[in-house]
Amino acid sequence: MNEIHPPIIVAISLPMHELAKSFAARQLTPAKGRQVYLNTLAIYAVHTYLQWLNIDTDLDQSDSWQANTQVLFNATDLILPGIGRLECCAVLADATSVALTWDVHSDTVGYVAVQVDQQPDQAALLGFLPIDPVITTSSETPLTELRSLDDLILYLDWIESGKLNRVRQWLENTVELGWREPATRSVRSRATTGQLISRMKQVELEGQAIDLQIQVMTTKTQDLNVTVRLSVPQEDADACLPDGLQLLILDDAGATQRQKQANAASRWLEQKKVCKANERFGVAIRLGEATITENFIT
Amino acid sequence: MNDLDDEQLRALIEAVRQAKSAEKRRMALNALLRKLQKLPGILKSSHQDYPEALNLTWEWVCRNIDKFYADDKNVAENLKHWLNGYLYWRIHDLYSPDEKYIKLGSEKIKVGFIPIDPPHSRENDGGSDTMVDRLAKPEDQMGNSFLSLIDRQIQEAQTEERRNLAQKIATYIKQDPDQRLQRCHPKGKPRCNAQFLAMRLCLQDPPATQTSLSEELQIPHQTLVSHWKYACRKLLNKIIQELSDEP
């Protein structure tokens, strides 16, 4: 349990218990009924808390609020428009861990643990965990590993402001806002063993348009081979990159891991990196005083 | 509340007011809420919808704390009065004849797609045995815990009629009458089909793990996950819709 920050309490009214019971009544077994009942309280608690903080939710469109969908699936999602989904995990009072399922939507960004049975008229928001994109099985995570609700706010803001690109999602053929699939040109690669996907966007520094392309290739492990490439836009194919343009790879704290610099004859700059699962890194493109940074999680 | 509490509260309120970004304000509100939720003297009510009135109050506090004014001393006392001033009227609404407050709560949570049992009212049951009355105690007179009370209520509520759709879906998955589920598999992996996966992941208790399924089907986990999420769930949702539309 997070000892520094006590939980935030959301009150649970009788109508919410009645709704939870109505959902539970439609389930095939009593065990699934209890699961749905407690999930409903947890989802409502997270929804209410986010309303307090003026963070939009779309409960009506969430699978967890669809009576028919719940009948088959263990739906615990809460949609946050423009951000993704939070899985709301009910935790019992005597529990020391929270069960995290791998069976989540591709836009799920994290889990919030909610204690629901300490007192029937309240739920306690304990903390959150960001999504682990390579979670391979439904796992029990100790409550001591939960991160604070302050971290949740920072994390949601990071995603909402577009500062975090979720690379592993690209492998499921999603194209995040601001990115596109390259038309013809691609980063050269000799290795062809894994799944290969590329995304690109055009950035502008000091009035110069530059193509940023990210290529991701799966490996036999959970590692991803990531190639970052800067080039001139295709319509200026004969041109060179601006002299002095820098391509920097940053670690999760923003420190430079490695860098390359273009000269007057450079047509492209490239950096390769092997990323572990759930690794965060940044790509900074610098020209003179101008810098553009993109952050990624694999 | 002592001077130290007053000082802490003043600092927390000031942090909200001075926050220069939405996320800083939200973090400051987190800290303030934690403190306020322990403030002694917050109004209470035995009304079954009091929790909704309290939640509305926390939301109101978050949105209006900038307007709160306190003199240099007695911040906690002033804050309690300010907060209770709003909560008093929300509780008052609960008892108003037009049930204005309850309607407001219902609108916030749209549940029109599922019939909800009407809430027990204190008038109807003599004011002694509402669900919250019973659930509010860690153990009732029979020595039952909150969870066992829930279990009992669920079992009573799970009538054949209410479980009809769940039963129809389970039967459909087991029988797969048109082989739609069995035909839904990755190329060259017929065993990894939607019927098999739905049986293991949705009908089996506890559900199979992804690892065990990957090993059993000898299929990479990424293929399994993609197939389940993007093909099987889509097909199953379509079937659920069809079955729920049946008379």
Q: Please report the pLDDT score of residue B120 as a whole number.
A: 36
Q: Which residues of B touch A92 (CB under 8 A)?
A: 147
Query: Is A277 within 8 Å of A133 (Cβ atoms)?
Result: yes
Q: Which of A128-156 are b and which e, b meaning 16 or more Cβ less than 10 Å from the residue's Cβ?
A: bbbbbbbbbebeebebeebbbbbbbbbbb
- pLDDT (0 to 100) of residue B130: 45
Looking at the predicted structure, is the pLDDT value of residue A39 above 80?
yes
Beta strands in A120-251 (DSSP E): 122-130, 139-142, 164-166, 196-205, 208-218, 224-231, 246-250
At residue A191, the pLDDT reads: 52
CB–CB of A14 and B130 under 8 A?
yes
The predicted structure's pLDDT at residue B206 = 86
Q: Which residues pair with A202 in a beta bridge?
A: A211
B210·A69 Cβ contact <8 A: no
Q: Note whether B14 and B35 are within 8 A (CB).
A: no
CB contact under 8 Å between B169 and A71, yes or no, is: yes
Percent of chain B's residues with pLDDT above 90: 57
List the structure tokens of A17: 């218990």
Mutation target to probe the A interface, by most A beta carbons within 10 A, among B23, B61, B117, B204 is B23
Is residue B54 pLDDT above 80, yes or no? Answer: yes
Residue B72 burial (C-beta neighbours within 10 Å; 0-12, 13-18, 19+): exposed
B43 Cβ under 8 Å from any chain A Cβ: no
CA quadruple B78, B83, B86, B88: dihedral sign: negative
Provide the residue count of chain B.
Answer: 247
pLDDT score of A137: 55
Cβ contact, residue pair A120, B146, below 8 Å:
yes
pLDDT at position B48: 85
Nearest to B165 among A26, A92, A138 (CB): A26
List CB contacts (< 8 A) between A62 and chain B.
none
pLDDT for the residue numbered A91: 94
Chain A residues in contact with B112 (beta carbon < 8 A): none
Chain B: closest CA distance from residue A62 (Å): 12
Q: How many CB atoms lie within 10 A of CB A268?
A: 17
pLDDT at residue number B107: 43
Answer whether residue A90 shows pLDDT above 90. Answer: yes
Q: How confident is the model at residue A132 (pLDDT cuts 50, 70, 90)?
A: low
Q: What is the pLDDT of residues B109-158, one digit of tens each?
A: 433 333 333 333 333 333 334 444 545 444 444 445 888 889 999 999 99
Strand partners, A230: A212, A269
- Which residues, other chains included, contact B71 with Cβ-Cβ below 8 Å and sequence gap of 6+? B78
- pLDDT of B28 above 80: yes
- Please count the residue pairs, one from chain A and one from chain B, whose beta carbons lie less than 8 angstroms apart: 202
Give me chain A's average pLDDT, please.
86
Helix (H, G, I), strand (E, B) or coil at A102: coil
For A212-222, b/e burial (b = at least 16 CB within 10 A) is: bbbbbbbeeeb
Q: Is the pLDDT of residue B101 over 80?
A: no
For residues A154-177, average pLDDT:
78
pLDDT in the model for residue A72: 95
- Identify from A50, A53, A94, A224 which residue to disrupt to test chain B contact, counting B C-beta atoms within 10 A and taking the largest count: A53
- B245 neighbourhood in chain A, CB within 8 Å: none
φ, ψ of residue A297 to 5 degrees: the values are -130, 135
Q: Which residues contact B176 (CB under 8 A, 6 or more apart)?
A: B182, B195
**How far does chain A reach from its first CA to its final CA, in angstroms?**
27
Residues A54-79: tens digit of each pLDDT: 999 999 999 999 999 999 999 999 99
B34, B135, B158 member nearest A33 (Cβ)? B158
- Note the pLDDT of residue B124: 37
3-state SS, one letter per residue, for B50-110: HHHHHHHHHHHHHHHHHHCCCCCCCHHHHHHHHHHHHHHHHHHHHCCCCCHHHHHHHHHCC
pLDDT of residue A206: 79
- Label residue B13 by pLDDT band (50, 70, 90): very high
Write B95-103 long-range contacts (CB < 8 A, 24+). B95/B47, B101/B49, B101/B52, B101/B53, B102/A15, B102/B49
- pLDDT tens for each residue of B148-203: 889 999 999 999 889 999 999 999 999 999 999 999 999 999 999 999 999 999 99
For residue A178 the two structure tokens come to 């601001």
- What would the two tokens of residue A45 be? 């608690």
Q: How many CA atoms lie within 13 A of A229 on its CB side?
A: 20
pLDDT at position B122, please? 35
Confidence category of residue B97, pLDDT binned at 50, 70, 90? low
- Quickly count: other Cβ atoms within 10 Å of residue B79's Cβ: 23
- Which residue in the set A34, A117, A150 is minimally distant from B154, CB to CB? A34
Q: Which of A26, A94, A152, A169 to mutate to test the interface with B (most CBs of B within 10 A)?
A: A26
d(CA A298, CA B46) in angstroms, rounded, equals 50
Q: Is B199 on the interface with A (CB under 8 A)?
A: no
pLDDT tens readout for residues A180-220: 888 754 455 555 567 888 999 888 887 788 999 999 998 88
Q: How far is A147 from chain B (nearest CA, A)?
A: 14
Of A11, A14, A59, the CB nearest to B119: A14
The pTM for the full model equals 0.75
Q: Answer yes or no: do A137 and B209 touch at CB < 8 A.
A: yes
Give ∠ CA B224-A146-B42 in degrees, rounded to 5.
130
**Mean pLDDT of all residues in B29-48:** 93
Which residue reads 């290795």 in tokens?
Answer: A191
